[in-house]
Amino acid sequence: MDATNNKVPTTRARLGQFLTLEGIDGAGKSSHLNWAAGYLSDQGIEVVTTREPGGTPLGDQIRSLLLNASMTPATECLLLFAGRAEHLAEVINPALSRGAWVISDRFTDATYAYQCGGRGMVPERIAVLESWTQQGQHPNRTWLFDVPLAVAKQRRSIRNETQGSDRFESEPEPFHQRVQDQYLQRAQAHPERFLLIDARQSIQQIRQQLAMDLDGLLKSYRDRS
Ligand code: TMP
């Protein structure tokens, strides 16, 4: 069955590359997204930047529910995948099939980390939804921004002074610890895809590491084309 509802051709055949940024709230990942997009654009690559939850008009409505409305863990997980199905059909798959690179601020690793690690859902349920929704589409590089919980907490509290905290950010520290543990386990289980970034480093040091990684990805991408 075509999970994309025939809005676009089923596009597991990928020409572009699919990069994701992950980490606990306050890890500092999002500030590197536009920089990475600019780095790739300078090399002549078409880049689409996006995020989850969100990425489409419907996805943004779902995001607002997820961040603010009270709901069961099952509802939360199903809403995340509903938004993801839309995101894949409307944004990610069409971009990859025309050869653009997609950089997404979070994707399904976040569901394993937050809904499985944080909320305690069994991973098998997420795996079923993942395979139905994604039809084999997965990121080929994931940057995991890793910081000690205390540093992330401090960064969140500075940000929340102006923005307020959402349902996830206001969870207690053990929740964030479980999310982090789950992320690290996933990075260990998929070393070919994950790049672990020590997010305590300076912005320049982090960008040096990201640039090296992007250079490697670009080289193998061009060698293949
Ligand atoms: P953001 O602040 O990085 O945009 O993400 C919003 C929140 O959504 C963040 O606290 C993590 C949460 N989230 C999940 O719980 N599961 C998911 O699958 C995704 C993509 C995000």
**Is 216 contained in some domain?**
yes
* Planar angle of CA 104, 109, 110, nearest 5 degrees: 80
pLDDT value for 6: 47
Share of the chain above pLDDT 70, in %: 94
Range of the domain at 217: 16-224
Domains: count for the chain: 1
Residue 49 CB partners (closer than 8 Å, separation 6+): 33, 34, 37, 102, 103, 104, 105
Q: What is the CATH number of the domain that holds 109?
A: 3.40.50.300
**Is 9 contained in some domain?**
no
**Is 160 contained in some domain?**
yes
**Is 5 contained in some domain?**
no
CA of 220 to the centre of ligand 1 (A): 31
Q: Which atom of ligand 1 is nearest to the CA of 25?
A: 10
Encode pLDDT of 74-122 as tens digits.
999 999 999 999 999 999 999 999 999 999 999 999 999 999 999 999 9
**Is 185 contained in some domain?**
yes
- DSSP state, residue 53: S
CA of 213 to the centre of ligand 1 (A): 24
Report pTM.
0.93
Residue with tokens 């989850």: 52
pLDDT value for 203: 95
More confident residue, 157 or 35: 35
Average pLDDT over residues 200-220: 97
**Is 4 contained in some domain?**
no
Q: Which atom of ligand 1 is nearest to the CA of 30?
A: 3
Which residue, by CA, sits nearest to atom 6 of ligand 1? 53
pLDDT value for 13: 55
Average pLDDT over residues 59-73: 97
pLDDT value for 162: 80
Encode pLDDT of 15-59 as tens digits.
899 999 999 999 999 889 999 999 999 999 999 999 999 999 999
Average pLDDT over residues 221-225: 87
Out of 52, 64, 147, mutate this one to test ligand 1's pocket (max ligand atoms within 8 Å of CB): namely 52
Q: Per the structure block, which two tokens stand in for 81?
A: 């995948």
pLDDT value for 14: 66
